[in-house]
Amino acid sequence: MSGVNTVVIVAGGRGTRVSTSPNLTPKQYQDLNGKTVLQRTIDHFINHEEIHHIQVVIHKDDCDIYKNTTLPDAKLLEPVFGGATRQQSCAEGLIALSKYNPDKVLIHDAARPFVSYDIITNTLLKISAGKCALPATKIADTIKRANAQSVVEETVARDNLYLAQTPQGFIYNEIHNAHLKARKEGLSNLTDDAAIAQWVGMDVDLVDSEATNTKITTIDDLVNAKKILDVTQQFNIPDLRVGNGYDVHRLIDGDGVILCGIKIPSDKKLDGHSDADVAMHALTDALLGTIGAGDIGSHFPPSDPKWKGANSDQFLIHACKLVREKNGTITHMDITIICEFPKIGPFRETMRENIAAICNMPVERVSIKATTNEEIGSIGRGEGIASIATATAVFMP
């Protein structure tokens, strides 16, 4: 997907229906099994590699609680203050994003913490096709209309009825201009952005969504959300998974050894079908191990001529993508390189930075170590280089 993709997360509401007293924490800052509702929502967009900037819109009274409960991230911009209505808050978020020249923008409710990777992807794809995108689910229950005395008056035909969700997706310039027009004409209480798009004459296409992308509105919703997380997190134990990987390649005469994507001057090279970067291969297997997705050979068969001489970073990028598609947050990577030569020390920091950049990770969460094999065995005789790697990832439901 090309272009700059952004998201506005609207978190300015007071959420009084979740709070038991008027002074209680708004719903987006309520704890949901160890993180706030808002943090869980933000995390889904941080973990989606197609999202580049995240703009949260908060209430001016929530500055402190936002700062105290929300973790910084490279994608997460400084929050901006919202207006009196949801629509006004959206407009503030859109205006704040303009300096990043977005191509696409998603607009999402802070109180939908179960938005999935697939919903985000499918909404972006719909915008890529030039459409306004509205994730929605078909209504399965029978719909009744009742009067003020709770007496049923009619059964409403449910054909073609849908429940609208967020993130709703737009070409940035189109929805930005629509919001400014609405503001100029004094319209301030449209409840969602698809309604604004329609108001200026844009077509809105449905995106098939998931019933689990529910909105937390009441105390019961919050309790249910905790129950869902309890089940998936096995009673609050984080779904933390560790994968390991091992690889070895033979050293032959050549013009340099590639390790962690860095070419180290040598009169040897590693022999293999791709660039034979053992360290990256071990790390790729470790990542695949966190999701039980087989090994590097099952994704990129050495028998396939396509991978001859290939840069191994594409294997690593693919493994990271698979982990994140499973709602995994990669939290740490640790690589050990076992060789008699070349010397790894002088290249270690460059390697760390390279692996961190390829995997979209902070460099402090990438570790690279090296050891010799004490001249024991084939590795000790300098016949090859081996590497072992460990990857750690935490998975969200």
269 lies in the site for Mg ion, by CB under 5 A: no
- The torsion angles phi and psi of 53, rounded to 5 degrees, stand at -135, 140
The Cα angle at residue 290 between residues 286 and 296, in degrees rounded to 5: 45
Nearer to Mg ion, 201 or 305 (CB): 305
Is 360 within 8 Å of 328 (Cβ atoms)? Answer: no
Stretch that binds Mg ion, among 102-110, 164-172, 247-255, 256-264 (CB under 5 A): 247-255
Nearer to Mg ion, 112 or 281 (CB): 281
Report the nearest approach of Mg ion to the CB of residue 250 (Å). 11
Report the nearest approach of Mg ion to the CB of residue 79 (Å). 45
CB atoms within 10 A of CB 375: 10
Q: In b/e form, how buried is each residue of 78-99, taking b as 16+ CB within 10 angstroms?
A: ebbebbeebbbbbbbbbbbbee
Name which of 240, 237, 236 is nearest 227 in CA terms: 236
Report the nearest approach of Mg ion to the CB of residue 350 (Å). 21
Strand partners, 353: none
Select from 43, 247, 275, 313 the one that contacts Mg ion (CB under 5 A). Answer: 247
Stretch that binds Mg ion, among 3-11, 221-229, 273-281, 359-367 (CB under 5 A): 273-281
Report the nearest approach of Mg ion to the CB of residue 332 (Å). 22
- Give how many residues touch Mg ion by CB under 5 A: 2
Strands annotated E in 339-383: 366-371
Place of tokens 């977005």: 102
**Sign of the CA dihedral with 120 first, then 123, 124, and 125 last:** positive
CB atoms within 10 A of CB 324: 19
Strands 53-58, 262-264: pairing is unpaired
Report the nearest approach of Mg ion to the CB of residue 249 (Å). 6
Report the nearest approach of Mg ion to the CB of residue 280 (Å). 8
Report the nearest approach of Mg ion to the CB of residue 389 (Å). 12
Select from 86, 281, 348, 352 the one that contacts Mg ion (CB under 5 A). Answer: 281
Stretch that binds Mg ion, among 86-94, 220-228, 237-245, 246-254 (CB under 5 A): 246-254
Is 348 within 8 Å of 355 (Cβ atoms)? Answer: no
Report the nearest approach of Mg ion to the CB of residue 286 (Å). 13
Nearer to Mg ion, 163 or 310 (CB): 310
Measured distance CA(166)–CA(203) in Å, rounded: 17
Nearer to Mg ion, 247 or 313 (CB): 247
Name which of 93, 4, 9, 96 is nearest 50 in CA terms: 4
Nearer to Mg ion, 108 or 281 (CB): 281
The Cα angle at residue 7 between residues 6 and 12, in degrees rounded to 5: 145
Strands 132-138, 204-208: pairing is parallel
Stretch that binds Mg ion, among 38-46, 134-142, 245-253, 348-356 (CB under 5 A): 245-253
Stretch that binds Mg ion, among 100-108, 154-162, 177-185, 274-282 (CB under 5 A): 274-282
Binding letters toward Mg ion, positions 143-182, x by CB under 5 A? ----------------------------------------
**Sign of the CA dihedral with 113 first, then 114, 118, and 123 last:** negative
Nearer to Mg ion, 104 or 281 (CB): 281
Nearer to Mg ion, 109 or 247 (CB): 247
Report the nearest approach of Mg ion to the CB of residue 278 (Å). 6
Is 191 within 8 Å of 118 (Cβ atoms)? Answer: no
Nearer to Mg ion, 62 or 275 (CB): 275
Judged by the rule CB under 5 A, the positions of this chain that interact with Mg ion are 247, 281
